Structure 1
């Protein structure tokens, strides 16, 4: 069975509107962070993009593909693990999903 609590490449993230955790890359505005996001197919408020779950009509928080490093499914609702995991701190060229062989 696949471990659900590990970071994965964004290319494998679901684009069906389900909520996932994402690592946002560090920038000059601040360090990397974790956010709850979903893929939006686009609507009257914006085009296809990753959106923060904090978004609301007229106040859309969108992420461009390069802003997001990796993703993880939402953890189960166990009372002992209700905190976000730490953001991915590895180098960009490190493997997240294994060697792919």
Structure 2
């Protein structure tokens, strides 16, 4: 999801609100990395992927993997998107 797209279609204030909410959600994941919902994919490269809603934008979720000392955000996607196709579950 591109911030420029959100700002263009929802207004600058909306885009900034989304940016702030995303940062807040990412900080939460750093503090509590296993909070997200585990996802099951066929592709072994996606083992361990979890999802977490962006605060205030619950239809938009961050897909991430918890690694030894890091949380890697793979994508931020709207729930209606083809998550399996986008993340490459084949």
Q: Same fold (TM over 0.5)?
A: no
Output the TM-score relative to the length of structure 2.
0.27
Based on CA coordinates, which of the two structures has the bigger radius of gyration? 1
TM-score, length-normalised on structure 1? 0.25
